[in-house]
Structure 1
Amino acid sequence: MPSGLVALLDDVSVIARAAAASVDDVGAGVAKAGSKAAGVVIDDAAVTPGYVTGFTPDRELPMIWRITKGSIFNKLVILLPIALVLSAFLPQAITPILMAGGLFLSFEGAEKVLEKLGGEKHGATLEDEITDPVAFEKARTSGAIRTDLILSAEIMAIALAEVSDASLVTRAVTLAIVGLVITLCVYGAVALIVKMDDVGLHLARKPSRAAQGVGRLLLKAMPVVLQLLGTVGMFAMLWVGGGIILHGLEELGVPAPAHTAHAVQHWVAQASGALGPVTGWIAYAAASAVLGVVLGMVIALALHFVAKARGKGGAAAH
């Protein structure tokens, strides 16, 4: 009996050590993967406010919550199983899928550029007459969730790359934690951003002069901040999309475009002295954005041409 009890306790201690090691592996994987995905997180936070601004204040938080739930669904229900299956059975398919997502982001960004240049608007906007507010809100929310799917795929792919040598369970838990934490952080920040004007209005009505001053400052600043975020979001789509394509081409054996972008990055970094890390990153992002806007413009103009041709064909048939 004593020897059996000792053996049992020894087995329990082995299991406990294994569990502790797994927790440590997951924690290390989450920290590593989360830091690597930080750039895409910034892009996600910059893109999303554009989908929910301009609506009445009572609709902003419900829209953000719907987008948040859609983002969690994207990461945990769609992308997590796909990532685990592909990493186990068909890892070579991950890069082409990500590149398709990069092309979609480039297309979306190019559409925004065309709109700013005075081209046709990409779908309904707040400047148009809205005959069905419920349908319009649903369309905007769906658009945000579709864009989130691409950004989430990039986040999950980056996280997966950082824990590719771990066990299946560790990979699954790490991806799930990274997905949840990033989603809550991004859309929590988005909620704060879009509601800051309401906070400013509330403070401006306070009897305290200090509160009124802060409130007026927020009311004046938020339109500028939201416009700036819209512009950043547009460029974010382009540099993330272009960056995905650069990395994908390199993975597929076409390294020249990525090497050129990295050469520009290193040259700018070396010429900038102490500011090298920042300016180098900006240079690489700009190079990625150039590729993104070129590819996006080609896709957008081709789709516009096809749409017009179909329209003319339909008119001729009548």
Structure 2
Amino acid sequence: MRTLIDEIPVPHAVDDGDWPAFAAAMVVRNAVQAAAYGTDEMFMSAADLLPYWRDPHEPKRLLVARVDGGIVGRAVVERQDESTEVAWVSVEVLPEFRGRGIGRALADRAEELAADVDRLVVYSPIPDAPGERLHPPTGFGSVPQARAEVRFLLARGYTLEQVERASRLPLPAHDLPAAPAPDGYRMHRWINRTPPEWLADMTALFTLMSTDEPSAGLDEPEDIWTPERLTAYEERRESSDRTHLVSAVENTATGTLVGMTELAVPSELSRPAMQQDTIVDRANRGHRLGMVLKVANLEYLQRERPGHPSVITFNAEENRHMLDVNEAVGFVPMGFEGAWKKVLR
């Protein structure tokens, strides 16, 4: 068995010469996700994923491991820009090719590509297992210490900083709680493109999301959005087959959007909708707006795009407020992932 690790370019479109290798690397991604969560509901096609790989504000580099010419593993290195002090790294190997040093070789190369940053962050799904548990400093959640993924990361000098919960809401959801917008607030909804009058407010909410979401000791940097960036992002993702449903809430006294939530909905009815960001700014909390937004967008989904099996969402285990909202709506846990950090200097 001969293993070759190399970097492949991100294709510009599904019909250019780099597409087959990129698509094969996404097959690895889907197989690893299915093995980790015990379901294929985490599947995303290569065409779905390409717009995110083409985002100049989140540049990614893609390494692949080939065995006898076939791609059996991949590693991803993501930066915000060359000045960012943190890089996000992931390593994935097909289950049937594990235990042969392929993951270690990919991780070595990925860390070499990010050697100039101060710290590395890894998000890794961890299937449950019996035995001793490893707890993050937050005190919320844990991962099984005996799992190979855990032992691999610990051996490479990573520390567990946070546990994220993946949750699933079966659809149709018939018993959503009543959650009308309170006095002084007005709901708005749209599909795909943000209306021009809300671009500035939405970019402020996206920027807030990058620092307001609990991130434990990961020290993740602020990600600044602008109307131009949001417009370009929405244009790129139109090449995928996913529809984006947005519900936002306006404070009528100020005339500004103070909260939003978004669902990404694939065209195939057999696939689940994916919950994207949900955020309410601090000055407007305490009015149950998180619940108002979640319920409004789920109702929007069932009216505009009915027939999907579920909605999938991720939340930090210490984000008790949002977990309370999700549990009240009907979400149940389907798996967990560890958020890890390695300090380089």
TM-score for both structures, normalised by structure 1: 0.22
Larger relative contact order, structure 1 or 2 (CA cutoff 8 Å, min sep 6): 1
Q: Which has the larger radius of gyration?
A: 1
| Higher strand proportion | 2
TM-score for both structures, normalised by structure 2: 0.21
| Higher helix proportion | 1
